[in-house]
Amino acid sequence: MGSVSEYFGSLVFDDRVMKANLTADVYRSLKKTIDEGAKLDIGVANAVAAAMKDWAVANGAIHYTHWFQPLTGITAEKHDSFISPSPDGGVIMEFSGKELIKGEPDASSFPSGGLRATFEARGYTAWDPTSYAFIKGKTLCIPTAFCSYGGEALDKKTPLLRSMEALNKQALRILRLFGNTSAKCVRSSVGPEQEYFLITKEMYDKRPDLRFTGRTLFGAKPPKGQEMDDHYFGVIKPRVAEYMEELNKELWKLGILAKTEHNEVAPAQHELAPIYTTTNIATDHNQLTMEIMQKVASKHGLVCLLHEKPFAGVNGSGKHNNWSIATDSGQNLLSPGETPYENAQFLLFLCAVIKAVDDYQDLLRLSVATAGNDHRLGANEAPPAVVSMFLGDELNAVLEAIENDTPYQGAQKTQMKLGVDVLPKFNRDTTDRNRTSPFAFTGNKFEFRMLGSSNSIACANIMLNAAVAESLRIYADRLEKAEDFKTTLNEMIRKTIKDHKRIIFNGNGYDDSWIKEATEKRGLLNYRTTPDCMPHLLDKKNVDMLTSLKVFSEAELKSRCDIMLENYSKTVIIEANTMVSMAKTQIAPAVEAYTAEVARAAEAKKQLDRNLACEYETGLVRRLSSLTDRIFAKAEELEKTLIELNKAADVIAESEMVRDTVLPAMNELRIPCDEAETLTSKEYWPFPSYGDLLFGVK
Ligand code: ADP
Ligand code: MG
């Protein structure tokens, strides 16, 4: 295979391929559909389908699939081959416009949260022409939305597209008010930075906890962890470098702009960041990236762990969601402009985000809530569970000056009068310092840092787009009716700063004193766990906002809340069952066998010399024996908490019981097991240790 520029996007039915393989008329209609959402007629669909099929077959594809993102958080596909019988007894390769546009997977086993009774198995998938089709293996994958026959969304893409549309509509209203008549659409863009761990496949296979749950449930602290800070940005090991090289190649073929790669803080932890792109495509690409990461790893005898907290005591993995909004001509609306007028527009968009984050802290928090991410948020490595915003000193000074109507005394000592003066260009170095903030302004974009590494980025961006659209809607309503545009604009900006400055925090988010200040003085929300935050999806203010912008229906919200809580409980229950099984069938027997060996050694020594004290053996046997008793007792207690779950009245009650009884019992069981690991001969220990796992890739 040739140079990167030759194979980049070679597996994507992208604009270049469309131009080359479609007639001018068909291409033009399709472009209109892609760019402006125009309806596609069946003739055009047939022509596109035929061209797509020919291109796919020429590139080795035999099957096609509608590729979609059900609420399981991963992607789904059901393959159909292109073959169709021909009258002469052979087959021809066929693919119609109808098959391109709509699919009907038997979808009864995907979570629907009661939206689609299982007997009404049919859901349908609908082509999303804004995200290019691509070839994976021998299959043409067509990105699609997934809905029930009643029209309710059963996936993550549908509400994401709706949220983008809501943002587009409201942002255009604002731009028109500022005299922009040329922008055709406004889109949000995202660049997600993806963290992950790499361990050897051989060791992974020996750990049921990793295989069943993606994280270690046991493991004594290794002699060396991340305290030396010698991994971050360190030299990449040859085996990892080979992995990254192949990963990049596979991603580039799929048109994914993988750009940066480096070692992260924890041993065995790495990061990959693509160049940002339209949110919808970035979401598809991130799902694909996670899939390809795992696939390529297995080719290299490695396993890629995407869990938020695979190891206790070392950093977990997150996903920074870099988000901005821009017009179709490429004007970034979160970038301070060149003229006073552009600055006023920038400040209004900035205020829209400030208001959105404050008004919908709960939605942002719950958009990243999973059992896995609960281990991370609020630990000393990730942003706290309290949502706040970092703006940097310069921008903060500007906002203060506006609020108090005083001269702006920023770095450049300029006065700041809205609509009159030019804002200073913010220096990236001064805006990007704070790594502890959940939501940081980084010069011309916001970095939302609460996402977990395995999260689909759809949820966070749905809430972000919707909440900002709502601020813009309120602003546009007022400005369109304003008698004096400038005065109203000034008032609105000042009022937003006054009303919402509590959400702005430029200090250290990891500090305990901040949590106290945030919750006690500022009244910010601190939802520590998934069951704490998820039910607030159905708070009236949230339902009102999301339904009025047509991002979700009320029924969809109810179903999503149920599904997310069910996922939470199921995840923890699987972990608990795995723990019980490992403790009873692996750890306790191993400790017991070793205890017996030590006892036998003492016995043998005494046979030699009756007067030998055998203090080491006796002491060890006593300690190990008491540990096995505790392990067994704690495993039984954990099992009891699981049985009790039957009594839960509904999903919310169950998730609360999981949080309050199952998780604590899991922690209790882990303690004697980890202690036993430090006392038991390594030969006897049934699976690789933390040290083996974290330092195993050479
Ligand atoms: P870091 O945060 O590690 O310092 P960068 O800020 O350079 O790294 O980039 C992080 C991610 O932000 C990348 O995926 C990059 O493409 C993305 N990004 C850069 N500019 C924008 C933007 N205007 N909108 C959205 N994402 C962006
Ligand atoms: Mg970053």
User: 13 is written with which tokens?
Assistant: 């039915």
Residue of 197, 488, 402 whose CA lies nearest to 318:
197
Question: Token match 């990167």: residue?
Answer: 4
Greatest Cα pair distance in the chain? 104
Residue of 573, 546, 572 whose CA lies nearest to 561:
546
- The pLDDT value recorded for residue 193 is 96
What is the torsional sign of CA 348, 349, 351, 355?
Answer: positive
Residue 338 has pLDDT above 50, yes or no: yes
Residue 148 has pLDDT above 60, yes or no: yes
CATH superfamily of 194-218+229-318: Glutamine synthetase/guanido kinase, catalytic domain (3.30.590.10)
Mean pLDDT, to the nearest integer, of 369-378? 94
From the CB of 461, is ligand 1 less than 6 Å away?
no
Q: Which of 263, 445, 451, 461 to mutate to test the pocket of ligand 1 (most atoms within 8 A of CB)?
A: 445
Mean pLDDT, to the nearest integer, of 85-113? 84
- The pLDDT value recorded for residue 120 is 56
From the CB of 74, is ligand 1 less than 6 Å away?
no
Give the β-pairing of 439-441 and 389-390.
parallel
Per-residue CA distances from 388 to 20, 177, 410, 413 (Å): 48, 30, 23, 28
Ligand nearest to the Cα of 448, by number: 2
Beta-strand runs (E) in 41-137? 63-67, 79-81, 83-85, 91-93, 102-103, 123-127, 134-136
Helix (H) or strand (E) run with residue 302 in it: strand 302-305
User: 141 is written with which tokens?
Assistant: 């994958």
From the CB of 444, is ligand 1 less than 6 Å away?
yes
The rounded distance, in Å, linking the Cα atoms of 641 and 440 is 40
Residue of 202, 183, 67, 209 whose CA lies nearest to 127:
67
Residue of 196, 200, 211 whose CA lies nearest to 292:
196
From the CB of 193, is ligand 1 less than 6 Å away?
yes
The rounded distance, in Å, linking the Cα atoms of 153 and 459 is 13
The rounded distance, in Å, linking the Cα atoms of 522 and 530 is 22
The rounded distance, in Å, linking the Cα atoms of 103 and 112 is 18
Please, which residues have CB within 8 angstroms of residue 550's CB and are 6 or more apart in sequence? 162, 165, 166
Q: What are phi and psi of 258, to 5 degrees?
A: -60, 130
The rounded distance, in Å, linking the Cα atoms of 551 and 691 is 47
Mean pLDDT, to the nearest integer, of 349-367? 98
Question: Token match 């069981």: residue?
Answer: 669
CA 193–ligand 2 middle distance (angstroms): 7
The rounded distance, in Å, linking the Cα atoms of 671 and 641 is 17
Ligand nearest to the Cα of 428, by number: 1
Residue of 198, 158, 195 whose CA lies nearest to 451:
195
What digits encode the pLDDT tens for the residues 610-644?
A: 999 999 999 999 999 999 999 999 999 999 999 99
Helix (H) or strand (E) run with residue 189 in it: strand 186-200
Residue of 162, 192, 158 whose CA lies nearest to 277:
192
The rounded distance, in Å, linking the Cα atoms of 389 and 502 is 9
Helix (H) or strand (E) run with residue 293 in it: helix 279-299
- The pLDDT value recorded for residue 417 is 53
pLDDT class for 397, splitting at 50, 70, 90?
A: confident
From the CB of 209, is ligand 1 less than 6 Å away?
no
Residue of 473, 599, 476 whose CA lies nearest to 545:
473
The rounded distance, in Å, linking the Cα atoms of 62 and 84 is 12
Q: Which of 8-22, 188-202, 232-246, 424-438 has the lowest mean pLDDT?
A: 424-438
The Cβ of residue 513 has, within 10 Å, a number of other Cβ atoms equal to: 9
From the CB of 275, is ligand 1 less than 6 Å away?
yes
Please, which residues have CB within 8 angstroms of residue 333's CB and are 6 or more apart in sequence? 171, 186, 324, 325, 326, 327, 345, 346, 349
What digits encode the pLDDT tens for the residues 58-80?
A: 999 999 999 999 888 788 888 88
CA 449–ligand 2 middle distance (angstroms): 8
Q: What angle do CA 573, 578, 580 make, to 5 degrees?
A: 95
Query: Which amino acid would we find at residue 104?
Result: E
pTM: 0.94
The rounded distance, in Å, linking the Cα atoms of 482 and 473 is 14
pLDDT over 70, % of the chain:
94
Q: Whose Cα sits closest to atom 16 in ligand 1?
A: 275
Identify the bridge partners of residue 64 per DSSP, sorted by sequence position: 80, 140
| All structural domains of the chain with their residue ranges | 4-155, 194-218+229-318, 567-694
Per-residue CA distances from 621 to 582, 587, 591, 674 (Å): 22, 16, 10, 17
What is the torsional sign of CA 155, 161, 167, 169?
Answer: negative
pLDDT class for 415, splitting at 50, 70, 90?
A: very low
User: 447 is written with which tokens?
Assistant: 């970095």
**Mean pLDDT across the chain:** 91
The Cβ of residue 358 has, within 10 Å, a number of other Cβ atoms equal to: 22
Q: Which of 257, 271, 320, 322 to mutate to test the pocket of ligand 1 (most atoms within 8 A of CB)?
A: 322
Residue of 371, 308, 385 whose CA lies nearest to 566:
371
Please, which residues have CB within 8 angstroms of residue 300's CB and are 6 or more apart in sequence? 239, 242, 243, 246
Q: Are residues 370 and 484 in contact, defined by beta-carbon separation less than 8 angstroms? A: no
Q: Which of 97-106, 469-478, 657-666 has the lowest mean pLDDT?
A: 97-106
Do 194-218+229-318 and 4-155 have the same topology in CATH?
Answer: no
> How many residues would you count in the chain?
698
CA 121–ligand 1 middle distance (angstroms): 42
Please tell me the class of the 567-694 domain: mainly alpha
From the CB of 445, is ligand 1 less than 6 Å away?
yes
Q: Which atom of ligand 1 has the smallest separation from the CA of 192?
A: 14
What is the torsional sign of CA 369, 373, 379, 380?
Answer: negative
From the CB of 274, is ligand 1 less than 6 Å away?
yes
Mean pLDDT, to the nearest integer, of 375-397? 88
What digits encode the pLDDT tens for the residues 464-523?
A: 999 999 999 999 999 999 999 988 998 999 999 999 999 999 888 888 899 999 999 999
Q: Which atom of ligand 1 has the smallest separation from the CA of 193?
A: 14
Mean pLDDT, to the nearest integer, of 558-562? 95
- The pLDDT value recorded for residue 698 is 82
From the CB of 324, is ligand 1 less than 6 Å away?
yes
Q: Which long-range contacts (CB under 8 A, 24 or more apart) does 591-594 make?
A: 591/624, 591/627, 591/628, 591/631, 591/676, 591/680, 591/684, 592/628, 593/684, 594/624, 594/680, 594/681, 594/684
The rounded distance, in Å, linking the Cα atoms of 523 and 519 is 5
Please, which residues have CB within 8 angstroms of residue 195's CB and are 6 or more apart in sequence? 264, 269, 270, 271, 317, 318, 319, 453
What digits encode the pLDDT tens for the residues 151-175?
A: 889 999 999 999 999 999 999 999 9
The rounded distance, in Å, linking the Cα atoms of 567 and 561 is 10
Comparing 63 with 401, the larger pLDDT belongs to 63
Helix (H) or strand (E) run with residue 168 in it: helix 157-177
What digits encode the pLDDT tens for the residues 240-262?
A: 999 999 999 999 999 999 998 88
Ligand nearest to the Cα of 451, by number: 2
Q: Whose Cα sits closest to atom 3 in ligand 1?
A: 193
CA 12–ligand 1 middle distance (angstroms): 24
Q: Which atom of ligand 1 has the smallest separation from the CA of 322?
A: 26
Q: Which of 139-143, 233-237, 328-332, 456-460 has the lowest mean pLDDT?
A: 233-237
Q: Which CATH architecture has domain 4-155?
A: Roll (3.10)
Identify the bridge partners of residue 134 per DSSP, sorted by sequence position: 12, 141
Q: Provide the 8-state DSSP code for 66.
A: E
The distance from CA 567 to its chain's CA centroid, rounded to whole angstroms, is 15
From the CB of 269, is ligand 1 less than 6 Å away?
no
The distance from CA 421 to its chain's CA centroid, rounded to whole angstroms, is 39
Q: What are phi and psi of 497, to 5 degrees?
A: -60, -45
